[in-house]
Amino acid sequence: MWYFLFKYVLMGPMLRLMGRPRIEGHEKIPTDGSALIASNHLAVVDSFYLPLMVRRRIFFLAKSEYFTGPGLKGSFQKWFFSASGQIPIDRSGATAAANALSAGKRVLEGGGMLCLYPEGTRSPDGRLYKGKTGLARLALETGAPVIPVAMIGTDRINPPGTVLPHPTRITVKVGEPLDFSRYEGMAGNRFIERAVTDEIMYALMRLTGQQYVDVYAAKLKNDDGTYTKAEEIIGGDEPAA
């Protein structure tokens, strides 16, 4: 109940006023049954505008720290993230990936729709970064179709260094579903999972128009919160495309 109350009453109207969002290709999203959404990730508000524009309920995986904060603030945060469709996962330690896969698999086996950001974190500079293979493994293990989705303009709502939101125009573009049934039974094969991931990232690159960088975005983040330029890691003057 709270999910739809947030979507249509408590947050939706304000989000629509700020972002004037529109969606293209909504008919490509299945009306029922399990499905995986693979989206680029430009800003925190991606996780608000995507469910706002898709009629079906979407689940996301969120780090468990959002659900374990102390005091009144922690209790409110836990309630908010639970009500808005976020599923807590422990991202620390050697079992982090397995925890995420198990949580995602439960959603899909229940016929739900799960959104993952294959880049693993927000883009530090607006480009599209190398995808992690967890989404591919889920697709191969469950047989769920993968729907590429481009979030466009969300990074302009609240650019780094700003406090107040900047009204802008946000577009959600839905691509053709990707079917990987030809790889049935091959989950766990790292070469197949990489091939599937690269196909997903190629679809996102074409859909978003972003420049692709063949480096994990997480490798660019420093301990102090700053980012290293991708070119410094790759070497040379231009990122790999």
How do the domains of the chain map onto residue ranges? 2-23+31-157+167-234
Q: Locate 140 and state its tokens.
A: 């191969």
pLDDT greater at residue 121 or residue 84 = 121
Its pTM stands at 0.85
Q: What is the tens place of the pLDDT at every residue in 1-58?
A: 667 787 888 888 999 999 999 999 999 999 999 999 999 999 988 989 999 999 999 9
Of residues 165 and 152, more confidently modeled = 152
154 backbone dihedrals φ, ψ, rounded to 5°:
-65, -25
120, 84, 116: which is closest to 103 by C-alpha? Answer: 116
Pick the CATH number of 2-23+31-157+167-234 from 3.40.1130.10, 3.40.1440.60, 3.30.420.40, 3.40.50.300: 3.40.1130.10
Q: Looking at residue 96, what is its pLDDT? A: 67
Question: Whole-number mean pLDDT of the chain?
Answer: 86
Q: Residue 124: which of 42, 62, 44 has the closest Cα?
A: 42
For residues 119 and 191, give the distance between their C-alpha atoms in angstroms, rounded to a whole number. 18
Chain segment 186-224, per-residue pLDDT in tens:
989 999 999 999 999 999 999 999 999 999 998 887 766
- % of the chain beyond a pLDDT of 70: 82
Which tens digit of pLDDT belongs to each residue from 89-147? 766 655 667 778 888 999 999 999 999 999 988 899 999 999 999 999 999 999 999 99
Question: What pLDDT is attached to residue 72?
Answer: 76
